[in-house]
Amino acid sequence: MWEELYREALEEGWKKLQRIPGVITGFHSTIDGLKRVEEDLLKRLLEQFPHIKSIPSEPTSVIRSPEDLLVDLLISIREGLAYQRMIENEETFRWTLENIGYDQLRLGGTSANMASLLSPLPLSKILVYANPLTKELAELFPERKNLFVLTRENDKPVLRSPRKAWKDQGIFAIHWILEYNKGLKIELDGTTYESPRANRFIAAWNPVNCRLRVSEEFKRDIFLIPDKFTHFLVSGFHILLERYPEGKTCEDFIVPVAEFVSQMKERLGLKVHYEFASIGSSLIRSLVVKHIFPVIDSLGLNEIEFATLLSDFGEQDLAKELKDTRFPIVKLVDGLLKIMERTPLKRIQLHTLGHYISITREKNERNERTALLFSAILAATRSLLGRYETLEDLEKGLGVPTITLTGYEGIKNIDNFSLVIVPTKVVQSPKLTVGLGDIISSSGFLLS
Ligand code: ADP
């Protein structure tokens, strides 16, 4: 039965995407700078700080100096844990650029990634918010006819390919992905530390995006263009800071974004999806729940992010049980019902490795099922081939077997909510797994 439903979903989803007038993604597009960390780089860096004799137990909450960055990197290596920290000042950013640099630049940021992952699909327009759009960032976007940024020409707002609309040259924001292998050694004052596994430390300098500052030009021009948009994928709250060096707090930046999203919704008639991503700070999470949840239609997250959200809502026992019992579907459903009861959300889409679940207030089960199955085909294809370009590629993803059923799959109605649970296709030796969550949630939302 599921294989047949999958086949129908591919055909139906492909057709339905063509009927969507336009999709906007904002407000976080950036450059990722990939750098492999080796022993000689660490030695060179440590020579600049001869007074460092040991590695502290905890990383800093924010990177305020080159020394903070180095120490946090050393902690990540010693523990094999993937920390992510924001760089707070420009001197540290310049120092890192000069002293660490990068091996390769890659498109980064949830909005840029979603736009890029959606662009091979038969969608007529995708407008990505990328600011500041430098030549370096613009050239990382794929060249596609349906991918645009909002810019001005002859004093009029127009949609143009990012590659034709860049303004400045240079790197003004970068998320360093400092990757290391298992067994990387650090020699420090006679002690040797060794990374227990391969992982990465992310240090991000992004003064504009980390304040979610939307340009005045975009705020005005989005309402002036004649082009029709119907869907908006909003994200980027995970790179906010609790406090800023100038004395502002995250709430100072969340509130204006929430107001602007609400305006866009009202004046453009958009449906809005928010991709949760992993937000380390419970303060920022609570403010996102308070200000952003009321202005969105749909929320996307994975099971770990969902357990954290449940804890924030006072459901620590259920969150713990979920983690201890490896996220059984019945318990996930219990949790989803609790969140729907306590928030104004219209829809939640949850993805795990074997199943996707959506819960909605309105009855829309057939569309929801098609949406989830189509997004599972995209995830399977990307895992299998490392990319998808054509309908033929997606047919290869369709060929991946659907994993074992548990008996909970299907459509259910509980307490006035509609639930759709689908079994997914899991690729045994995936070629690529980055960005899968983003593609599952964004495509699922568009087809829901
Ligand atoms: P990310 O932030 O890296 O995108 P998420 O945890 O949000 O990570 O999403 C990853 C999702 O990708 C999983 O929940 C699962 O549904 C899907 N996925 C991961 N590995 C595979 C695989 N080998 N085959 C198919 N789907 C996969």
pLDDT tens digits, residue range 208-250? 999 999 999 999 999 999 999 999 999 999 999 999 989 999 9
Whole-number pLDDT of residue 434: 83
Once rounded to an integer, what is the mean pLDDT over residues 307-316?
A: 96
Q: How far is the CA of 116 from the centre of ligand 1 (A)?
A: 17
Residue 442 sits at φ, ψ, to 5 deg, of -70, -45
Residue nearest to atom 14 of ligand 1 (CA): 352
Q: How far is the CA of 135 from the centre of ligand 1 (A)?
A: 31
Is pLDDT above 90 for 447?
yes
Residue nearest to atom 11 of ligand 1 (CA): 437
E-only strand ranges, 265-416: 271-275, 298-302, 347-351, 355-360, 410-414
Does 324 participate in catalysis according to the annotation? no
Which domains are seen in the chain, by residue range?
2-33+106-170+207-447 (3.40.1190.20)
For the record, the structure tokens of 309 come out as 């959200």
Residue nearest to atom 20 of ligand 1 (CA): 433
Per the rule left: phi > 0, alpha: psi between -120 and 50, beta: everything else, 206 is beta
Once rounded to an integer, what is the mean pLDDT over residues 100-104?
A: 97
Whole-number pLDDT of residue 405: 85
Q: Cα–Cα distance between 310 and 337 in angstroms, integer?
A: 11
Binding site membership of 355 for ligand 1 (Cβ less than 6 Å): no
CA quadruple 22, 349, 353, 422: dihedral, nearest 10: -100
pLDDT tens digits, residue range 393-438? 999 999 999 977 888 999 999 999 999 999 999 999 999 888 899 9
- Angle CA(148)–CA(154)–CA(156) in degrees, nearest 5? 60
Instruction: Report the largest interatomic distance among the alpha carbons of the chain, rounded to a whole angstrom.
Output: 67
Binding site membership of 31 for ligand 1 (Cβ less than 6 Å): no
Number of the ligand 1 atom closest to the C-alpha atom of 352? 14
Is pLDDT above 90 for 441?
yes
Length of the chain: 448
DSSP type of residue 293: G
Instruction: Note whether 174 and 205 are within 8 A (CB).
Output: yes
Q: How far is the CA of 384 from the centre of ligand 1 (A)?
A: 12
Whole-number pLDDT of residue 61: 87
Residue nearest to atom 17 of ligand 1 (CA): 353
HSE of 363 in the Cβ direction (CA atoms, 13 Å)?
6
pLDDT tens digits, residue range 15-49? 999 999 999 999 999 999 999 999 999 999 999 99
Once rounded to an integer, what is the mean pLDDT over residues 312-340?
A: 97
Once rounded to an integer, what is the mean pLDDT over residues 351-373?
A: 97
Whole-number pLDDT of residue 244: 93
H or E segment at 25? strand 23-26
The structure's pTM equals 0.94
Q: How far is the CA of 374 from the centre of ligand 1 (A)?
A: 14
Instruction: Note whether 274 and 234 are within 8 A (CB).
Output: yes
Q: What is the mean pLDDT of the chain?
A: 96
Q: Cα–Cα distance between 299 and 273 in angstroms, integer?
A: 6
3-state percent helix, strand, coil for the chain, nearest multiple of 5: 40, 20, 35
Q: Cα–Cα distance between 113 and 133 in angstroms, integer?
A: 15
For the record, the structure tokens of 445 come out as 């939302």
Q: Cα–Cα distance between 270 and 337 in angstroms, integer?
A: 25
Q: Cα–Cα distance between 5 and 376 in angstroms, integer?
A: 12
